[in-house]
Amino acid sequence: MILLPLGSGGGVGQLPSPDGPFAAPAAMVAEFKGAGLSAGRFLGQFGPNAA
């Protein structure tokens, strides 16, 4: 999985699926970006002050 947000409402990415990888549309990348890019799952590992 890779996501590259570009600006406030766009971006590009590649996500896994049962049929193989697919290109994520800009709206989907923007939605992930708005949700914190899954950063919350790393907060427990590295703590809030990780740099």
Q: What is the pLDDT of residues 1-51, one digit of tens each?
A: 888 888 777 789 999 999 999 999 988 888 877 665 556 666 777 766 655
**The two structure tokens encoding residue 39:** 């950063």
pTM of the model: 0.52
Strand positions, DSSP E, the chain: 2-6, 10-15, 22-24
Q: In whole angstroms, give the CA distance from residue 9 to residue 14.
A: 17
Q: In whole angstroms, give the CA distance from residue 37 to residue 41.
A: 10
- C-alpha angle 24-46-16 in degrees, rounded to nearest 5: 20
- Tell me, what's the pLDDT at 39? 65
- The sign one gets for the Cα dihedral 41, 42, 45, 46 is negative
